[in-house]
Structure 1
Amino acid sequence: MPVSNLTEHTGYWLRMVSNAVSQDFARKVAVEGVTVAEWSFMRALFDGDGTAPTALADQMGMTRGAISKLADRLVSKGLVSRAEAGGRGQILSLTPTGRAQVPALAAMADANEAEYFGLLTGEDREALGRILQSLVERRGLTQAPVD
């Protein structure tokens, strides 16, 4: 029985690019004192005035336990605050420091994106995005890629 080469698999090439993009971005945000998961969490909070942990877990496709651990880390860093929601649980919000940090982190994400995918033509970049989004939808993938 013939054995296929690794490089014959699309997944091999996806993983090579994904690892490089993710690892470079992780190194860049680490300089700002956060992980990629923490950045994703902060970005998810950025557009609202406060979010319940369960809603954030649903939004990010993560467990409540994972959200709780991320919230604990970000609270200890002074980037997220917790408030009681009138006996109905907690509300998570960015602190002023956290809110001020999100645009800088977003600019880093944009620059990392451009560094890798700016090498493609606009048409190729759009096609790649459509193909990957189609695979995500068809496979029913919902977990945010934070690691």
Structure 2
Amino acid sequence: MLEVSHLTSHLGYWLRYVSNHVSRAFAAKLESRNVTVAEWVVLRELYGEDAMAPSHLAERLGLTRGAISKLADRLIAKDFVLREDSPDDGRAHTLALSPAGQALVPALSALADRNDAEFFGDLTAGERETVERILKAVVERRGLKGIPVS
């Protein structure tokens, strides 16, 4: 029989293992506020910004226009985002946070911070810096694009 590497001998296994646990815990925290991870990403990207075209938001997040449209529709239904006609083009529209969305983002950001601290708070500052430096190097060298939304 051919020798086959064990699952745990792959860095991808450990990255996925940690990522899945971090992501599930964060998704559960967001669920308590009636928001998904993908919705959080959109809300955070709109926070502190002027109204922007959905196409610009899609480009910034590395998502399709269709995905942005679906996320925007859900966030509009929850009264977290406003869709307005573009002043420059009557056929186009922009997205911006509603007052409720503006108020919600800091609370969600605190959940993200808490989740990060729960999983990585035991790392020393040097360990955390090393992990971040290595992961950013992989992103840069591989030319990875788009913001993780799930």
Taking structure 1 as the reference length, the TM-score comes to: 0.97
Q: 1:96 aligns with which of 79, 96, 99?
A: 99
Q: Equivalent residue for 1:52? A: 53
Q: Equivalent residue for 1:140? A: 143
Deviation digits for residues 5-42 of structure 1 (CA, Å, limit 9, x no counterpart): 00100011000100000000000000000000000000
Q: Equivalent residue for 2:63? A: 62
Equivalent residue runs for 1:1-147 within 5 Å: 1-86=2-87, 87=90, 89-147=92-150
CA RMSD of aligned residues (A): 0.8
Aligned-pair identity in percent equals: 55
Taking structure 2 as the reference length, the TM-score comes to: 0.95
How many residues end up aligned between the 2 structures?
A: 147
What is the DSSP-based 3-state SS (H/G/I as helix, E as strand, rest coil) of the residue aligned with 1:83?
Answer: strand
Q: Which amino acid aligns with 1:107?
A: A
Deviation at 1:89, TM superposition (A): 1.1
Q: Which is worse superposed, 45-54 or 98-107?
A: 45-54
Q: Which amino acid aligns with 1:22?
A: S
Cα distance, 1:126–1:88 mapped onto 2, change above 3 Å: farther
> Hey, what's the Cα distance between the residues in 2 that align with 1:84 and 1:17?
42
Deviation at 1:88, TM superposition (A): 5.2
> Hey, what's the Cα distance between the residues in 2 that align with 1:105 and 1:69?
21
Deviation at 1:134, TM superposition (A): 1.0
